[in-house]
Amino acid sequence: MVTEQRPRLSRGQILDAAVARADRDGIEAVTMRSVATDLGVEAMSLYHHVANKAELLDGMVEVVLDAINVAVGPVTANSPAEWKPVLRSRILTARGVLLTHPWAPALIGSRSPMTLSIIAYFDSIIGLLRLGGFSYDLTHHAMHALGSRALGFTQELFQPMSEEHEREGAATLATMADRFPNIAGMLAEDPGHDDQSATLGWCDDQSEFEFGLDLVLDGLERLRS
């Protein structure tokens, strides 16, 4: 009797399954056991390819960064004047990848390894700035000014609240409007985030992201000139 053999498991399959699980159920749902279940294997089978959950999470970040590099492709700018529109387009393309993996920004911010994928991505940005006429010193400042925006997201100033706590906070502020009129006035005018599909994190929606990105790029253009 011939038994059907299961295709051999690979590290890439494991990481892809973990990313798919996070996309579907959130990063909290990713465990060695849950990924093994999705692959139809025992959890112990995964340890031949990833040593532990920390390595699994690092690998997931690498999958997303690889996808970003594929999406942005090689730099196509040919003249110094193109540095800003090309860089803006590449950053928004990176953001488009992250919007398909809304868990990724927080994970990227919590992992530290400088992998070839992240080095390649930032090297292309530095190359664009250099093409635009930036000195290495001004390029260094530019990279700090861009921060996480270079990858397509902004880091949260505050931790997101649950809907219940957000309602409670808004109610509390409403009772103190006379004491804090500027915050109360701003919140009263805030239209909120209607398009949740273009949001990464608590307060990082597309319009706010592009507003901040354009401020930085326009400021860098003035310094370059």
pLDDT tens for each residue of 61-110:
999 999 999 999 999 888 999 999 999 999 999 999 999 999 999 999 88
Which residues, 6 or more positions from 101, have their beta carbon under 8 angstroms from its beta carbon? 19, 22, 23, 64
pLDDT digits (tens, 9 = 90+) for 165-222: 666 766 777 777 788 888 778 777 765 555 667 788 767 789 889 999 999 999 999 9
- pTM for the full model? 0.84
Query: 3-class DSSP state for residue 216?
Result: helix
Please give the Cα distance from 120 to 94 (Å, whole number).
13
Specify the higher pLDDT residue, 121 or 164: 121
How many angstroms separate the most distant Cα atoms in the chain? 82
The closest alpha carbon to 64, from 29, 91, 34, 100, belongs to 100
User: What is the chain's mean pLDDT, rounded?
Assistant: 87
Tokens of 141: 């400042």
Q: Could you tell me if 119 and 65 are in contact, meaning their C-beta atoms sit under 8 angstroms apart?
A: no
Residue 185, C-beta contacts closer than 8 angstroms, at least 6 positions apart: none
